[in-house]
Structure 1
Amino acid sequence: MAERKTLFITGASSGIGEATARAAVAAGWNVGLMARSADKLDQLVQELGSASLAVAGDATDLVAQEDAIARVAAHYGGLDAAFANAGMGVETPGTEAGDPEEWRRMIDLNIMALLYTTRAALPELRKTKGQLVLTGSVAGKVHIAGSIYGATKWFVHGYAGNMAQEMREWGGRCTLIAPGMVDTPFFSEPKPEKLQAEDIANAVVFALSQPPRAAIPEIVVMPMG
């Protein structure tokens, strides 16, 4: 039986992160789960068992991410993949009507926290020729009137391509996951006719399951409805 690989996930307490934790464990991975909601992480670990480790913390804190990744790598003997998934939108869209403090929180989470995951994980991923997975969005591929959220995802898309080039130099891979609308707590109203978090989790596991010769730079997942 092959040794279990280990995946670190931010935003792991709900939505895409939680679904990916379940899908990865089912596919034979260990998972390190980071989010601010310690109680939700503990419940998920109770469900997933010894293949999961909760490392509660704020993804917008570089030291917290470094500590979380160090704990996960020490616990499972290394790190094979990191999924920078934590993100948020805004309640008040637009530039004139928008809330600059809300912009700052969104940029801290959608951009800075993703950079922190990458920075903290790369030393471990280099040891395993591992993989970085970033949650982008179809909003990072098209122009949406006045969308500052979409602009943060354009950053993620550009950065993912740049990291794929850098990681290739030492045998690592970077995959961007770009979902269309997903029915998750990201939205205040349920959207049951749209994609489910499990659909995106399946795309992450697909990318992680490819042989070392195959790089998957981007996966776009769109709802049929």
Structure 2
Amino acid sequence: MFLGLDADGVAHFTAMVAADSGLPGSAVNARAAAQMFGDNRAAIIAHARALLGWHAHNRFCARCGAPSQPMRGGAMRTCSNPDCATQHFPRVDPVVIMLAVDGDRCLLGRQAQFPPAMYSALAGFVEPGESIEEAVAREVAEEAGIGVANVRYVASQPWPFASSLMIGCIADATTTDVRIDPDELEDARWFSRAEVRDALRKEGPLKVPPSIALANTLLRHWA
């Protein structure tokens, strides 16, 4: 699959191979690999991971069910049925990730699979027919029982697990009593700005996501 040209005009490609393919080096999880690089190679890894994942999960036409074939270097797939010939393109799923803030504190939650003491910003997929602001308000209300207003966009990040676009926001809390949805979160609580600053310095009991994650960017922006 063709990824594109770098600044020097060198073409970059990606391919799906087995971990024991005999290639030099060793297989590394894509998240771990992205954290090894501080330059644009992390973005190349994300692009490759998302593109390969899309091709692996879209081998058949969603319209008629016939096998589809990669075309244009992997930028699209075309149905092999000549009576259909539908063209399919990689999709991106929008996800809101947000901090609800109340003065000098912010709301963070944790899922059961998180490492011990780690908390992060709440997040969820945008539903069809929903604005970003509406998605932020709905997700915070569903997961933690908190009402919010004055939603502000901060930053975005492609997240190729599987193929999401994370849309980072901050919103003002209009209520403060936390009532978690146990199907979504193990815990959610308010943390002070001082606690968040300590966590970003890797000090204190609170742990937060690494710098590669948009949640970390949101926390740094607020703190």
Q: If the length of structure 2 is used for normalisation, what is the TM-score? A: 0.23
Higher helix proportion (structure 1 or 2): 1
Structure whose CA Rg is larger: 2
Higher strand proportion (structure 1 or 2): 2
